Amino acid sequence: MKVSGKKSILINYIYIHIPFCLRKCNYCSFYSEKFTSDLKNRFVSFLIKEINQVKQRFKIKPLTIYFGGGTPSLLDVSDIQKIISQFDLSQVQEITLESNPKNITSVFVQKLSETPINRISLGAQSFIDSELNLLGRLHNSEQISRAFELIRNQGFNNISLDLIYGLPNQKMLDVQFSLERIIELNPEHVSLYCLNLEENVLLYSKKHLIPEDEVIAGFYDLIRRELISSGYEQYEISNFAKKGFESKHNLCYWSDKLYLGFGPSAAGYFVNTRYTNPADLEEYFGAIKTSQIIGNLVSLTNEEHEKEFIFLSLRKTKGINLKEFENKFQKDFLEKYRKTIDKYLDNNFLEIEGEFIKLTPKAYFISNEIFSEFM
């Protein structure tokens, strides 16, 4: 199905999936292909065609652009510049490049600083080399620190680090060790990932060595407390930032904003409709050749939209804005979900503050259970 006549829809948030990695990590189920320069060049030329096809159907004025992957730092800086220049940047506030410490060189960051990229998300994951090995990461802890310093010294003042926890055989002291290194580096933003192994990843064979839920909840609690006492604000269940450095792009996903995804496997959302590009490079190229990109549209019913709004808003520490809910769905949230709300207010998993209803910190780790009761 083709989308036509949507030029009146204004889109402010753009995700671009760069589907290449040097090697597959042992825990990763994101779509990516082995990097070769030829395939990357072919991809970039199709990506630019895709952007221009979609631009004919939507009014696009990005506030944020997010290069995710895969490994966007495998692109040449000239590719990044060429991709960014396809968009009207007159209102842009944040352009993020996910980067692998392995690819960060002084020449790369120096050239990057001459582009409009103003936020780097560095896939640190852990500062213990045996953990990085287990995860199949290509970098070691020293390379993370070196990459971080190169980026910082080049003048980037908005850097995010990722931390994975809940690894096979992991102990509290291991989590604490990586966390302390992160706090020493003093990034503006920290994203947490609780390891979740799908059956198709190499590390799945070690799933039985993952600590019990209560132990992992303890890891989460430690990370949360330490980050907050080091000056970070928690603005989402797994995201922490220094004041003013919340990821504007990621907030769009939790705030019911419209966004477009470019590149294979990228997803988009506009006016009660979702789509996902083919998670296969050749199929993706084919869809662009035949102008069938943004096919497979999935319409959301009002009920589905409402459920998504609830669980995405509850991921934010601010919670659901009750007035916004009423305006969007023409109903009173507290009335409609009275029974579930009462149950969780009684045991202090939910609280109401002014116009917002939100999870309490003790509910964060078991948030999925709570969300399911609203579904």
# of chain residues touching ligand SF4 (CB under 6 A): 11
Residue 28 contacts ligand SF4 per CB under 6 A: yes
**Contacting ligand SF4 within 95-114 (CB under 6 A):** 100
Residue 204 contacts ligand SF4 per CB under 6 A: no
By CB neighbour count within 10 A (0-12 exposed, 13-18 middle, 19+ buried), where does 56 fall?
A: exposed
Taking the C-alpha atoms of residue 83 and residue 303, their distance in angstroms, rounded to an integer, is 37
Among 12, 64, 71, 99, binds ligand SF4 (CB under 6 A): 71
Among 3, 6, 9, 30, binds ligand SF4 (CB under 6 A): 30
CA-wise closest residue to 244 among 226, 263, 231, 259: 231
Residue 264 contacts ligand SF4 per CB under 6 A: no
Of the two residues 158 and 265, which places its CB atom closer to ligand SF4 in the complex?
265
φ/ψ of residue 168, rounded to 5: -55, 130
Determine the interface stretch with ligand SF4 among 25-33, 193-201, 203-211, 362-370 (rule: CB under 6 A): 25-33
Write out the E strands in 23-58. Answer: 33-34
Residue 64's DSSP bridge partners are 13, 94
Taking the C-alpha atoms of residue 144 and residue 147, their distance in angstroms, rounded to an integer, is 5
Distances (CA, A) of 302 to 272, 299, 308, 329: 8, 10, 10, 8
Taking the C-alpha atoms of residue 336 and residue 47, their distance in angstroms, rounded to an integer, is 44
Of the two residues 11 and 151, which places its CB atom closer to ligand SF4 in the complex?
151
Among 25, 44, 150, 190, binds ligand SF4 (CB under 6 A): 25
Residue 69 contacts ligand SF4 per CB under 6 A: yes
Determine the interface stretch with ligand SF4 among 27-35, 290-298, 326-334, 352-360 (rule: CB under 6 A): 27-35
Binding site for ligand SF4 (CB under 6 A): 21, 24-25, 28, 30, 32, 69-71, 100, 123
